[in-house]
Amino acid sequence: MPKYRLLPLVLLFSITGYTQKVNADSIQLALIRAFKIDSLEQLLITKKEDTSKANLLGSLSWGYAFNDAEKGLYYGEKGVQLSQKLGYKKGVAYCTQSIAMSLWLLGNYSNALQSGIKALHRYEELKDEERIGITYYILANIYRDFGDYKRALIVAHKGKRIYESLNASAIIGYAIIGSIYDLQNRIDSALLYVQKARQLDLRDNRGQWGWLYYLLGNIHRKTKHYDLALQYYRSALPLVNKRDIIETYNGIALLYRETGREDSTIYYATEVLQNWGSVSYQRGILQAVNILSEVYRKQNQRDSLIKYLELSSELNNRLFNQEKERDIQNLAFNEQLRQDEFIRQREQYRNQLKMYGLLAVGIVFLTIAILLWRNNHLRQKAYALLQKQKEETDQQKAKAEQTLEELKATQSQLIQSEKMASLGELTAGIAHEIQNPLNFVNNFSDVNKELIAEMKAEIDKGNVEEVKAISNDIEENEQKINHHGKRADAIVKNMLQHSRASTGKKESTDINALADEYLRLSYHGLRAKDKDFNADFKTNFDESIGKIEVVPQDIGRVLLNLYNNAFYAINEKKKAPALKGENYEPTMWVTTKVISSPLYSGAGRLELSVKDNGNGIPQKLLDKIFQPFFTTKPTGEGTGLGLSLSYDIITKGHGGELRVSSKEGEYAEFVINLPMDSF
């Protein structure tokens, strides 16, 4: 392999524990391995403010990443500041890359992704293909640990292709891709890529890369070859770095849990937690906590279970809360927009080249008229130029199609976020609805407690008649407790029936009951979030409708969306300064009825109306109201996907209609029209 093609893998290779000979570009990191890192810190005192000090700061940042990521972050930021002061672009890119590494290991995925993308842009400007490949590997690890496996595979393959184009070893790329497939439980694909990496490791590194043994242990554990899996895990331990030791211990703990050896499971998971203070790998700590929680739940050790469940909740919130998810989605979306702009500019440049080519052809033809003897030579040149431009155009078309697929994936993630928001509102409604019967149960239980005390006193006195009277009261209270307990049970079963994930199958459903249930859930959910919220709602249900075939979970989501929008509109109107002192009564009406018409065959159609006396919708916006991402709410209060999803559920999923009418300042009405006998 040519010397200048050797990977500067010491930059990345805390990511996987892989090391290899490096060129002069990685001398300082080699020094970190050869000497104590605190000795190199002393060099900072004597170093002048030049590019070598910037490189040293970046190298220290990389060196500290796994043992003390906070310190790695500190040196990386210092390196960026010095490099910017010196105008040293390569140093800015190098230190930004190390910051991304430290943030990833700390579990700060959104900021890690932001730094990784910045480093990628810097190296693209420097046209440093080798470092671009390294950055893609870092981004792949960030996306993988956050759970965005699709994007992780995309960037990992990009990094692998770059190293293959440089005739350099793509072992890191194969290993990372294999690890992603392992997390997806796509065992055959994981084994294929890990074995390819293993072949390259045996060729280049004499089989000393411990992380590959860990991955092979995972794969064989999932295929229930436990003896072979344990052998690979134990082979990995003397070869891996501290981060990979955590992953290997977790793998062994999972193996022992699956084989019923709970004491060994607890031992290895606890070993991970004992390394917490010396290792910055938060995701591995979370996995160990979850393993211990599962074991203590099985052993019914409540104190230990509660302790680790609380720790798991804290780590989960730190690593995977919704705000971070939105940040990562926005960063990925903005990066996609940047790439689209880059493609557009390049396409514009290609068009200019085409224009110049056509001008050149014109000149060629003029020259042909003047100089016939050069005709053949000039024609061949023009043909070669046009052929090259055609190939470039085909390449741009393929990239544009790939970009479209990635945008579709981003839109699917946003739609899933909207569904999760609806589920949260539904849950709040269920909690409020069930509180009422539980209050009755608690109150009557307290009364019975007092009556029993009185009955004991009367028994001691020998007052039989009074004892009988008290026992009759207790019996009546017990009947009431039983009644309200069954009522709570019915509410839970009924609500969970409607809130569970949609199967996509149509069921015979009482549409009036469904509309009434989700109306109460919406109202109580909003009351749970805003204690000042208050509104009146009136229903007028046609009892002759009976049951119709619909997907109840999907129709429930539509109704919940329409109710929430209506309550929001009347609440906003009530809070408007112009209405202060006026006798405004915020009200929503829900109506169902059967429409019979010669236009409709069979039993006709069901019409369900949701009307409010809020601010209404401006006439000029009515045509846009069902468009994806269009919303009349202020920024941050709506995604613009609710009505779009509702429209698709009614029209595409149920063959119905969803229409809207409104008068600005007075009302808005949404009408669902569904066939009753065509399913």
Amino acid code (one letter) for 44: L
Q: Which residues contact 266 (CB under 8 A, 6 or more apart)?
A: 253, 292, 295
pLDDT, position 424 = 56
Dist CA 120 CA 131 (whole Å): 8
pLDDT, position 390 = 79
The first and second tokens of residue 442, run together, are 């608690």
Confidence of residue 502 (pLDDT cuts 50, 70, 90): low
The first and second tokens of residue 349, run together, are 């440049």
Between the CA of residue 68 and those of 31, 80, 200, 282, 481, what are the distances in Å? Answer: 18, 19, 31, 12, 58
Of the CA atoms within 13 Å of residue 43, those in its CB half-sphere come to 17
Mean pLDDT throughout 514-530?
Answer: 85
Share of the chain above pLDDT 70, in %: 76
pLDDT at 333 over 50: no
pLDDT at 392 over 50: yes
Q: Of the candidates 563, 556, 566, which has an alpha carbon nearest to the alpha carbon of residue 511?
A: 556
Q: How far is CA 179 from the centre of its chain?
A: 19
Q: Do the Cβ atoms of 590 and 659 come closer than 8 Å?
A: no
| 210-222 vs 226-236: helix crossing angle, rounded to 10 | 160
Distance in angstroms between the alpha carbons of the first and the last residue of the chain: 67
Q: Of the candidates 216, 241, 235, 214, which has an alpha carbon nearest to the alpha carbon of residue 14?
A: 241
Q: Which residue has the higher pLDDT, 35 or 606?
A: 606
pLDDT, position 22 = 35
pLDDT at 184 over 60: yes
Dist CA 677 CA 679 (whole Å): 6
pLDDT at 334 over 90: no
Of the CA atoms within 13 Å of residue 383, those in its CB half-sphere come to 6
Dist CA 555 CA 649 (whole Å): 7
| 149-165 vs 171-183: helix crossing angle, rounded to 10 | 170
pLDDT, position 30 = 44
Strand pairing of 587-595 and 547-550?
A: unpaired
Q: Which residue has the higher pLDDT, 409 or 558?
A: 558
Helix (H) / strand (E) containing 137:
helix 129-146
pTM of the model: 0.47
pLDDT, position 62 = 83
* Helix (H/G/I), strand (E/B), else coil: 549: strand
pLDDT, position 20 = 40
Amino acid code (one letter) for 284: G
Q: Which residue has the higher pLDDT, 270 or 366?
A: 270
pLDDT at 450 over 80: no
Q: Of the candidates 130, 180, 128, which has an alpha carbon nearest to the alpha carbon of residue 154?
A: 180
Question: For every residue of 89-102, which 3-state class applies, written as one string?
Answer: HHHHHHHHHHHHHH
Between the CA of residue 143 and those of 116, 254, 527, 655, what are the distances in Å? Answer: 11, 23, 38, 39
By mean pLDDT, which of 142-146, 294-298, 414-418, 453-457 is the weakest?
Answer: 414-418
Confidence of residue 394 (pLDDT cuts 50, 70, 90): confident
Dist CA 417 CA 423 (whole Å): 10
pLDDT, position 575 = 81
Q: Do the Cβ atoms of 606 and 543 come closer than 8 Å?
A: no
pLDDT at 545 over 60: yes
pLDDT at 3 over 50: no
Confidence of residue 498 (pLDDT cuts 50, 70, 90): very low
pLDDT, position 120 = 92
Number of alpha helices (DSSP H) and beta strands (DSSP E) in the chain: 23, 7
* Helix (H/G/I), strand (E/B), else coil: 662: strand
Confidence of residue 225 (pLDDT cuts 50, 70, 90): very high
* Helix (H/G/I), strand (E/B), else coil: 426: helix
The first and second tokens of residue 216, run together, are 């092979």
> Where is mean pLDDT largest: 98-102, 111-115, 174-178, 313-317?
174-178
Mean pLDDT throughout 594-601?
Answer: 66
Confidence of residue 264 (pLDDT cuts 50, 70, 90): confident
For 197-224, the pLDDT digits (tens) are 989 988 887 778 888 999 999 899 999 9
Q: Which residue has the higher pLDDT, 127 or 644?
A: 127
Mean pLDDT throughout 2-29?
Answer: 37
Q: How many residues does the chain have?
A: 679
Confidence of residue 34 (pLDDT cuts 50, 70, 90): very low
Q: Do the Cβ atoms of 433 and 518 come closer than 8 Å?
A: no
pLDDT at 11 over 50: no
By mean pLDDT, which of 37-51, 84-98, 404-418 is the weakest?
Answer: 404-418
By mean pLDDT, which of 27-41, 70-84, 179-193, 295-309 is the weakest?
Answer: 27-41
